[in-house]
Chain A
Amino acid sequence: MAKPVVSKRAPRLLHPFFISLGGTLLMAALFTDYMYSCNSLIQWSNFSAWLIAGGLVFALVAVIFLLIDFALGRAGPISWLDFILVGAAAIISLFNVLVHTRDAWTSVMPTGITLSVIVTILLLVAGIRGWAVTMERVVERGESR
């Protein structure tokens, strides 16, 4: 009987998980913004402010783990399309969290929810592409490390 083929994987990237966490919170803020725009119940806009603030905290954590990925030699070269998608979403969210510090209706309508729509579109693409902003280092089968 032939020996089973052992495929070896490179160590996984650490940063995509944290981008996915933050991205999920930022996309959830579109839902809560939408709810506030429908019912004017202020608690929905409070949820948005917390979700976006939380998303930005995870963005910071993700940056730290991206640096760790580089330091550990796990990350390949930067994938610029993903980097721009995620980076733009983070920068727009920085504006968005400030818009959400406004009081009552104008914390969401119309600027806040518009920014949330843009961020959600950027992050959906980034998410479907796998949340990583660098290439993975590929280890060929059978290659000895």
Chain B
Amino acid sequence: MIGSLLRASSAFLALAVLGACSDKGGDPMKQYGPNPYLPEPHQYLLPPMSVPRAVGWKAGEAPTVPAGLRIQTMATGLMHPRIVYPLTNGDILVVESNSPGTKPFRPKDYIQGKVKARAGAGAKGGNRITLLRDSDGDGVPELKTVLVDHLHSPYGVAWVAGTLYVANTDAIMAFPFTPGQTKITAPGVKLADLPAGPINHHWTKSLVASSDGSKLYVGVGSNSNITENGMDVEEGRAAIYEVDRVTGAKRVYATGVRNPTNLAIQPGTGQLFAIANERDEIGPDLVPDYLTSVRDGGFYGWPYSYWGQHIDVRVHPQKSDMVAKAIKPDYGLSSHVAALGLTFSQGETLSPQFANGVFIGEHGSWDRSPLNGYQVIFVPFVNGRPSGMPIPVVTGFLAADHKTVRGRPVGVALDRTGALIVADDVGNTVWRVSHTGAPTSPAITRK
């Protein structure tokens, strides 16, 4: 037994050393679309980590947008803004949040935490929702005020039928709320518990309401990269739940989605779509994050396999019956981009080329060289499915030399005028991208 172990491991070690020395990621464009290029997985001696230093925006600096669009600062000085959510009256909610904090298990956890902090991921979140009111629609809010405070690492929000639902990291809270209100004083009522501590590795809970408003869908990320915190703590994780909005009863809607960081309902069809962040540490081009329509009862592979039936040898014991069931996602977004923001476009509000598709906020990689992501892209849809190559929309977050980063995009949304709103949790800014040709948007009438 020892002999075979020795042989296997010496080959393994040689591979690992080679891999650690010469592993640069390839062209990310090969990994967009329905059939991304998937290289062989590698194991490393040194966990690959490559992060730019977070420096923030200087006065007058802003991300870059294509000709025909302009970008404005809507709000600055926020505390780690993650999600932006426009209300029916034109007000915009900004969820300011960060991880509730996780406790280290292994020597590695101390080092990894320090590296991620360098890229601005360690900043304290506001644990609150700020309201921006821009009555005249010129992109400059007249009012910026804290709507609700003392939340518990909130992320997803949805407003349905006089109620604001907030997905805290451990529960969906319901607050009576009418758009126009600038302060929520009523204490929230818990609608449903969500899987949380004590580890809570992927802490964000994404939230979207079904088209008829009867159901809420909640994305719950895995409790580890690839089961290194044990299988028992993965109970109920890496899943998308369907919660009855009235009773709070919840059921598992889809499983095997490693980290469903955002959800969106396709206008017209009511189909649920998700973006998911895939696993790390098996190579700079593995595994691509993805955008997919979500099937009721579907299993998407995590942890046993990725992109269909590609087995992950780090998971033990393996389950071949689960691997066989794993659904291939619809559309690859290339590896380690950390897609966090998702919203459907609403016609030609920005440009004819952005008429039909989704905007995706790519927070940016921390374990890939060269860096990948750090932009907002548009993925076109044809016949209700993602199709064709992505178009960069908001770029310039990363410095040209890739040594420093000024901001990192997170949540994206379209406001009532059709302008694209982008949360930036390193620049602590909310950006607004609008069409230059369009006349100044008409004033929004408040009821």
B44 within 8 A of A: yes
CA distance A104 to B226 in the complex (A): 7
Q: Kindly report which residue of chain A lies nearest to residue B316, judged by CB atoms.
A: A105
Is A40 in contact with B107, judged by CB distance below 8 angstroms? no
Q: Kindly report which residue of chain A lies nearest to residue B17, judged by CB atoms.
A: A95
Q: Kindly report which residue of chain A lies nearest to residue B233, judged by CB atoms.
A: A42
Is B317 in contact with A40, judged by CB distance below 8 angstroms? yes
Would you give the 0/1 interface string for B29-52, flagging 1 where the beta carbon is closer than 8 Å to chain A? 000000000000001111100000
B contact residues around A99 at 8 Å (CB): 16, 45
CA distance A104 to B227 in the complex (A): 6
Is A49 in contact with B13, judged by CB distance below 8 angstroms? no
A101 within 8 A of B: yes
Is B226 in contact with A111, judged by CB distance below 8 angstroms? no
CA distance A50 to B2 in the complex (A): 24
CA distance A43 to B315 in the complex (A): 15
Would you give the 0/1 interface string for B126-168, flagging 1 where the beta carbon is closer than 8 Å to chain A? 0000000000000000000000000000000000000000000
B contact residues around A115 at 8 Å (CB): 9
Q: Kindly report which residue of chain A lies nearest to residue B105, judged by CB atoms.
A: A46
A73 within 8 A of B: no
Q: Kindly report which residue of chain B lies nearest to residue A112, judged by CB atoms.
A: B9
B contact residues around A105 at 8 Å (CB): 313-316
B8 within 8 A of A: yes
Is A50 in contact with B224, judged by CB distance below 8 angstroms? no
B contact residues around A101 at 8 Å (CB): 46-47, 106-108
Is B45 in contact with A42, judged by CB distance below 8 angstroms? no
Known A42-B230, A49-B107, A50-B106; judge A104-B315 contact (CB<8 A). Answer: yes
B contact residues around A97 at 8 Å (CB): 107
Known A40-B316, A105-B314; judge A49-B106 contact (CB<8 A). Answer: yes
* Chain A proximity of B225: nearest CB distance (Å): 5
Query: Which B291-337 residues sit within 8 Å CB-CB of chain A?
Result: 313-317
User: How many chain-A residues does the 8 Å CB contact rule pick out?
Assistant: 28
User: How many chain-B residues does the 8 Å CB contact rule pick out?
Assistant: 31
* Chain B proximity of A131: nearest CB distance (Å): 25
Is A42 in contact with B228, judged by CB distance below 8 angstroms? yes
B5 within 8 A of A: yes
Is B314 in contact with A46, judged by CB distance below 8 angstroms? no
Would you give the 0/1 interface string for B93-120, flagging 1 where the beta carbon is closer than 8 Å to chain A? 0000000000001111000000000000
Is A98 in contact with B316, judged by CB distance below 8 angstroms? no
Known A103-B228, A103-B314; judge A110-B107 contact (CB<8 A). Answer: no
24 contacts between A and B (CB under 8 A): A41-B230, A42-B229, A49-B106, A49-B107, A50-B106, A95-B45, A99-B16, A99-B45, A101-B47, A101-B107, A102-B47, A103-B228, A104-B314, A105-B314, A105-B316, A106-B43, A106-B313, A109-B316, A110-B5, A111-B12, A111-B13, A111-B16, A111-B43, A114-B5
Give 13 new A-B contacts, CB below 8 A, not counting A42-B231, A114-B5. Answer: A42-B229, A46-B105, A49-B108, A97-B107, A98-B45, A103-B227, A103-B228, A104-B228, A104-B314, A105-B315, A105-B316, A106-B314, A117-B5
